[in-house]
Structure 1
Amino acid sequence: MSWPEPSERVRELISRCAQAALNAAPEWITDMDNATLSAVNMRAFADDPELRATVSRLNRANLLHWVTANIRDPGMPVSPNLDPEPLRIARDLVRRGLNESTLDAYRMGQNTAWRKWMALAFEATSDHEELCELLDVSARSVFGFLDTTIAAVWAQMRLEREELTRGNHAERRETVALILDGAPITRQRAEARLGYHLDQHHTAAVVWNPDPTADPGDLERAAEALARTAGASRPLTVIASAATLWVWIPGPHAPDPSRLQAAMETIPAVRVAIGPLGQGLDGFRRSHLDALTTQRMVARLHSAQRVVSFEAVQMVSLLTQDADHADEFVRNTLGDLAFADPDLRASVLVFIQERCNAARAAARLYTHRNTLLRRLARAQELLPRPLDDNVVSVAVALEVLNWRGAGV
């Protein structure tokens, strides 16, 4: 296809706009992420912290690829983005059972970037002819760039699908999906396809690495550590994406989070969300769904915890479904204590957990009783209501803060 070279003046304007876009890239990427994830067919990405991060990296990679190309050679065709990130997301899409139509959601992110680009263009010149040429050249460039990039990702998805269907991963993933959806597959048929007994106790877990480029062997090592801490045989694992494993641990004993934390010292980037112990097909399904809920809560609250069980966060998960209301509850309940030193907040929470027994709380905190009493007196000064009048609400609010990565 012929590509008429823009005028020197428009090349100058495009270069100037591209530099402004580069400077504003963080804000643009946030808005592109929100637009992309709002699409109905992107729900699987919006609910999954690893895939949300992948979407953001892809938007960033595409934006910077196009912008830097137009700084380097303004107004000329931009080659498709064939860097590792777009090709990695193709693998994730296929492994999640999603098809090529999901990529259409990226046009929503493109539309957001295009509106911001038009605003820059209108700021760059008030000359009607210059503006028309600038927008025409930019539109051909950006839409052509995205079309060729999406076509390349489509092609990679086809290759990934062919590769998966040559092994047993696709069958295992499909069987698990049928069980989770409550489809009418018999237990015997499912067991034959999975090589795993379903009529037993099991504990589900989600094992993931926020960095999709990390060694996938780390996920397998974490899954094996899970099984060891539960005294179980080899677990059932299903590849959910490039950096996520779905795991089921057979046996009547759930993994011990504290032992698992110690066992994972050599694989520091991996994180684990553990569901409750379940039995049979229903327990297989319920434990997995609760593990997913736990993973999403950890991501939603930006928690620094690496090993988290559903039992530990069930109440906090319910309370924080509405983030704004949760923040309001914490602020209204704790007042200035919400912003106090974490050690002070931890002392109050342990005191409540020990049924307001100062001696037991001090022993658990490895501190002197008088030191604890001074901390409690300081907390009373910061709380909007006396602790004795609001013990339950204060404990819940402190639990919320305990699982958050940052303050209110």
Structure 2
Amino acid sequence: MSWAIEIGESSAAKMSEEVPLLDQTPSLFNVLRRGTTSSILRALMLVTGLTGPETSLASAEAVAIARDLAQRGLQLHDVLRIIRIGYAVLATALLDAIVEFDGRAHELRRVSVLLFDVVDDFASILTTAFVEEERLREADASAARLDLLRTLIDGRPVDNAAATRLLSYPLNAEHIALIVSSDKTESIDPVDLRHVVDPVFNAWAAPLAKLIVPIGAHSLWAWAAFAPSATRRVDSRLPNYDKVNVAVGQPGRGVGGFRRSHLEAKAVERLRALSESVRPTTIEHRDVDLDALLLMDTQAAMQFVSRYLGPLASPDPRITELRATLELYLEHDHRLSEVAELKHISRNTVTYRVQHALDMCAHPAGESTTRLRNALHIQRWLPGDNLEQSSAGRSDE
């Protein structure tokens, strides 16, 4: 017993010497010494035949040390190095003792082979315990970060300094938020989605810091922190990705900007979810901010479109063409020639389509077209079958 205690202390001391992260507090050294001593005692009993060959060197104390090291933030390579050091100290001590008290070659060989056999099992048990604890620790940290993010997004007060530490992200910077997602039927995982983030953020500048949080298996939230002077490069175009949706918020400063940029990206996601025709792409909030505002209440938006477009809201391809021509006509201040050139049709065809569209929506001559313009604008995002149901509901009233 005294031999096991002596070698256990030597082993713990050697580990602390060669792995500086272990040499922090007396309490940690004592925990380490208990673990090494218990494993050495098991090895001694195994070698002397006091226990069967199925005995493992991995005592409960040794497993507890592996979990403790994970909680302290050590890496797996540190644990493997500690195991190698412990094995070297144990093997040297046992073989030296055999040479001193026995000296027979076959006994040296027997003990060497036995130690070699059991150390693999010992390393496997300890590394498994370490990895499991590391995953639990990461899951706890991820859950805490996600809870904090939801608190920030909800607009509830937080301690900015504590939040910055937990997120490892500067909340007092200029922020741009992304929401990246893929079709759930496609084989794209969060690791793949992470590769989308950098090229989008780099359209502004190299970020000071990034925060990337996977949300389920097919989506992630991301923020980048920039210096206050960072602006979108004039010649930069945001990349598009096959089968991947990217929603981009607008820049915002501080905690308020962090929250607002994410909510803007969320608004883009909401728009995309409404549309049956928008293919996976990158969409900036600044390009659809009016659409997002008008469609905050989807049911009210559908009623608005039905009220001011009537039959012109139909998804029929011929009516869709009438609607597109009317929208161009209104956007270009009623200039027939410009619309004809853009659509590659004659002025007479433009005139016919515009008049037919106005007749279909029963727009009074001479009345302001503001509501009509907005109805045409937001109709592009709304599913046609829902609009038809909304129109039928109004006609029944």
Identify the TM-score tier after normalising by the shorter chain.
0.5 to 0.7
Q: Secondary structure at the match of 1:334?
A: helix
- 1:213: Cα distance to partner? 5.5
Matches within 5 A, 1:120-131: none
Partner of 2:168: 195
Q: Does 2:182 match 1:209? A: yes
Measure, in 1, the Cα distance between the counterparts of 2:273 and 2:132.
28
- Check whether the contact 2:274–2:383 (CA below 8 A) recurs between aligned residues: no
State the SS of the aligned residue for 1:350. Answer: helix
Unaligned runs of 5+ in 2: 1-130, 388-397
Structure-2 separation of matches of 1:276 and 1:301: 22
Amino acid aligned to 1:247:
A
Distance 1:301 1:231, change over 3 A: same
Work out whether 1:400 is the aligned partner of 2:378.
yes
The CA distance in 1 between the partners of 2:287 and 2:330, in whole Å, is 16
Change (3 A) 1:380 1:300: closer
Give the conservation status (yes or no) of the 8 Å contact 1:226–1:249: no
1:381 maps to 359
Q: CA deviation at 1:246?
A: 0.8
Equivalent residue letter for 2:168: G
Partner of 1:225: 199
Q: How does 1:55-134 map to 2 (within 5 A)?
A: none
Q: TM-score, normalised by structure 2?
A: 0.52
* SS of equivalent residue, structure 2 residue 333: coil
Call closer, same or farther: CA 1:380–1:180 in 2, change over 3 Å: closer
Measured after TM superposition, the shift of residue 247 of structure 1 is 1.6
- 1:241-296 Cα offsets, whole Å, 9 max, x none, are 2111112233443699x933xx22xx322112222221111100111122223312
Cα separation, 1, equivalents of 2:360 and 2:233: 39
Structure 1: distance between partners of 2:326 and 2:344: 14
Instruction: Please give the residue correspondences for 1:209-358 in structure 2 after superposition, counting only pairs within 5 Å.
Output: 209-211=182-184, 214-216=187-189, 217-233=191-207, 235-251=210-226, 252-253=230-231, 259-260=237-238, 263-264=239-240, 267-302=241-276, 304-305=278-279, 306-339=281-314, 340-358=318-336
- Per-residue CA deviation, residues 333-358 of structure 1 (Å, 9 max, x unaligned), is 11232225323322222222223333
Change (3 A) 1:324 1:173: closer
Please identify the structure whose Cα radius of gyration is greater: 2
Percent of matched pairs sharing the same residue: 28
| 1: CA distance, partners of 2:319 / 2:337 | 22
Question: Superposition RMSD on alpha carbons, in Å?
Answer: 3.4
2:285 partner amino acid: F
Matching residue's letter, 1:165: R
Q: For residue 214 of structure 1, what is the amino acid of its counterpart?
A: S
| Amino acid aligned to 2:137 | T
Q: Please tell me whether the aligned partners of residues 303 and 404 of structure 1 are also in contact (alpha carbons under 8 angstroms).
A: no
1-structure distance, mates of 2:353, 2:309? 15
Q: Return the alpha-carbon distance in structure 2 between the equivalents of residues 183 and 378 of structure 1.
A: 52
Distance apart, 1:366 and its partner CA? 5.6
Change (3 A) 1:320 1:185: closer
Q: Which residue of 1 aligns with 2:138?
A: 166
Q: Tell me: CA distance 1:390–1:176, structure 2 relative to 1, closer, same or farther (3 Å).
A: same
- For the 8 Å contact 2:177–2:222, the answer to whether it is kept is yes
TM-superposed deviation, 1:319: 4.0
> For 1:75-104, what per-residue CA distance to the aligned partner results, in whole angstroms no more than 9, with x for missing partners?
xxxxxxxxxxxxxxxxxxxxxxxxxxxxxx
Contact conserved, 2:246 with 2:283, CA < 8 A, in 1? yes
Confirm or deny: 8 A CA contact 2:173 2:254 kept in the other structure.
yes
Ranked by relative contact order (alpha carbons within 8 Å, sequence separation 6 or more), the top structure is: 1
1:297 Cα offset (Å)? 3.3
Match of 1:389, SS? coil
C-alpha contact 1:387 1:394 (8 A) present in aligned 2: no
Shift of 1:182: 4.0
Normalised TM-score (structure 1): 0.51
